[in-house]
A and B are shown apart, each in its own frame.
Chain A
Amino acid sequence: MASILKVKNLVTKFHTVDGVVNAVNDVSFLLEDGETLAIVGESGSGKSVSMMSIMGLLPMPPAKVEGGQALFNSKDGPVDLIQLPYEAMSDIRGGQIGFVFQDPGTSLNPILTIGKQISETLIRHLGISGREAKDKTVSLLAEVGIPDPTLRFDAFPFQLSGGMRQRVMIAIAVACAPRIVIADEPTTALDVTIQAQIVNLFKELRVKMGVSTIWITHDLGLVAGLADRVLVMYAGQILESAQVDELYENPKHPYTIGLLGALPRLDTQESKRLVSIDGTPPDSTILIHHCPFAWRCAHAFERCWNEKPALTTVGEKHTVACFYAMEEGR
């Protein structure tokens, strides 16, 4: 499979009055054509910031992408998104890469109709007239499962429920048939039943449009039926990456094992007991030169405190950054 996005050694920092926040520390990964990649990790692990860095959506200052590449296989050939000037980048944003944000309540402009907010993307990227854009918007609204699309065209965000608003966000993201859709916790702000509907809509659209997807989430439970591959992020780094089934059956990193253990299991008596991993992530203003999980790891030994483990292949498409797992595997 060809890769559509190749991120290499991404480093992003925030220069704040309280010091330098090391949000993304040397992140590299691949997104393959047509694949759905899930990025999981606790709050603050750098999931959003790494995606925003690639898309040039961070407020700069305080943010600064200090290194790395994001090679995107665009319609006009490969480009490095990190180096792209604003104009060229804005051709790609919304046109070739769509974005869905976490909170549909605040992510839509409160005083513009949803029809206008969808059609302006179409007009911008497809260069079509307002009338054509309106027709296309109405069919997009129908496609993302919004009833009475012609009527809803003139609705304002506050007149829609959270689930409907998120459908509008999805319509915006897929409007111009992008190559990649990045969804940053698109269901976190929604009710459980609505969550399932949104996940299903995503699956449907993915099949229909053949779009590659990056899905950011806290929730490993959600990932099982949705993603092909998973990246586990912690303290701005990737600790493990594997195909979904492999990760569930054969997790290597103690952190991944902890995350899986923290899942409420519906099939056992213990469903009510929610285990979580002891401890908290390290202070992101300190640059760490050893394993960032060592503080919380039951298996940490001397080497873990002296060196930073690199991602190492331990199986087919399975890599892990952990000295304990590597020793065990040998």
Chain B
Amino acid sequence: MLKYSFRKVGQSLLLAMGVLILAFAMVRMTGDPASLMMSRNASAEEREAFREVMGFNRPVLVQFGDWITHVFMGDFGDSLHFREPALPLVLQRLPATIRLAATGLAFAILIGIPLGLIAGFRANSLVDFFGRLIALLGQSIPNFWLGLILILIFAQRLGWFPVFGADKPESVVLPAFVLSLPVMGELLRLTRSAALEVRNEDFVRTAFSKGLHRYAIYIQHVLPNVAISLVSVIGVEFGYMLGGSIYIETVFAWPGMGQLVGQALGWRDFPLVQTIVVFTSLVVLGLNLLTDLIYALIDPRIRHGK
């Protein structure tokens, strides 16, 4: 377990380094970061002055070294729009994004996995049919459209939920549901096929031959083996949800990271975009590491390096 963990941590650190290099390269990809970040009407003198201030006229390696050192100290540079450090701006948005993503993930897990299990055990039943319908819809309906429809019905007509914002506890329900739907569909499909597969394994027959109760077999023998194939997907999907959804956060006016990305792109506020990219990438890497470790906790073969 220790060896495995060390290896995984090492891999994550390497990847994190890669992320930093990519994020740095991103802004310089077009050749001239100044023209990327400034309005088209800026004069040549203004551009020159901007390069001077931002240090773009120095050798690239020097710029990179400088940037990395600052990043390690938690300084991601200043937002061009707000004219203040970018990191606190991002961190400010974090609680709302986490709230949205965590609620969405909870919806996806609490609905997707049980439905998937039932669908797997009772293939071609009514539950199976509805499950597959949800999976299909979840993965094909455009989320901004669904968001608008839900607002129309549940917020405007029925008045059960606020139309926008994040001021009330129940505000999170509609956007989280929209965010969760594709993930729910994915989890449902995966759980169903994993359950179908595991159900036919020899060791499940052994469990039946021991006279165990049906639910003991499902919960103690089938579910943990199904979970092995779910853990990594859940990790990836949660990372994706944490990245925030520009569409959903815009439609619901949710003050999270996705909304900030949308705004920052509009303002050509590249230091801010860069900060968000680096930050969410690192969060995703952290999540990946976490799933790898959970994976090992469930599956002894991984833990013991088999």
Question: Chain A: residues with CB nearer than 8 A to chain B?
Answer: 55, 57, 59, 86, 89-95, 98-99, 101, 103, 106-112, 120-121, 124-125, 156, 158-159, 169, 172
B35 lies within 8 A of chain A by Cβ: no
Chain A neighbourhood of B212, CB < 8 A = 90, 94, 120-121, 124
Contact (Cβ within 8 A) A111 B225 = yes
Q: Which 5 A-B pairs have the closest CB atoms?
A: A94-B211, A94-B210, A93-B211, A99-B209, A106-B202
Q: Which of A91, A107, A156, A159 contacts B203 (CB 8 A)?
A: A107
| CA distance in complex: A138, B228 (Å) | 29
- Give B200 Cβ to nearest chain A Cβ, in Å: 7
Given contacts A101-B202, A111-B298, A121-B212, 20 further A-B contacts (CB under 8 A): A55-B209, A90-B211, A90-B213, A91-B211, A94-B211, A99-B209, A101-B205, A107-B202, A109-B206, A110-B299, A111-B299, A111-B300, A111-B301, A112-B221, A120-B212, A121-B211, A124-B211, A156-B301, A156-B304, A158-B301
- B residues 184-203 with Cβ under 8 Å of A? 200-203
Between B205, B210, B225, B228, the greatest number of chain A beta carbons within 10 A of the residue's beta carbon is seen for B210
Other-chain contact of B206, A86, A95, A124, A172 (Cβ < 8 Å) = A172
Question: Within 8 Å of chain A (Cβ to Cβ): is B18?
Answer: no
A65 to chain B, nearest CB (A): 15
Number of A-B contacts (CB under 8 A): 83
Contact partners of A111 in chain B: CB under 8 A = 224-225, 228, 298-301
Q: How far is the CA of A156 from the CA of B302 in the complex (A)?
A: 12
- Residues in B neighbouring A108, C-beta threshold 8 A: 203, 206
- Tell me how far the C-beta of A139 lies from the nearest C-beta in chain B, rounded to whole angstroms: 18
> What residues on B are CB-neighbors of A98 within 8 Å?
209
Cα–Cα, bound, A86→B214 (Å)? 9
Least CB distance from B295 to A in Å reads 11
Q: How many residues of B contact A (CB 8 A)?
A: 26
* In the complex, B306 has a CB within 8 A of chain A: yes
B210, B216, B304: the one contacting A172 at CB < 8 Å is B210
Find the A residue at minimum CB distance from B200.
A59
B130 is an interface residue with CB less than 8 A from chain A: no
Chain A contacts of B206 at CB under 8 A?
99, 101, 107-109, 169, 172
Best-surrounded residue of B200, B228, B300 (most CB of chain A within 10 A): B300
Per-residue CB proximity of B202-242 to A under 8 Å, as 1/0? 11011111111110100011001100100000000000000
A156-B304, A158-B306, A159-B304 are contacts. A109–B209 as well, Cβ < 8 Å? no
Cβ distance B220 to chain A, nearest Cβ, rounded Å: 8
Q: Which single residue of chain B is at the shortest CB-CB distance from A154?
A: B300
Cα separation A159 to B303 with both chains bound (whole Å) = 12
Which residues from chain B contact A90 at a C-beta distance below 8 Å? 208, 211-213
Nearest CB in chain B: distance from A126 CB, A: 11
CA distance A112 to B217 in the complex (A): 12
B301 and A57: CB pair below 8 A? no
14 A-B contacts (beta carbon < 8 Å): A57-B205, A93-B211, A107-B203, A109-B225, A110-B300, A111-B301, A112-B221, A124-B212, A124-B216, A156-B300, A158-B300, A169-B206, A172-B206, A172-B210
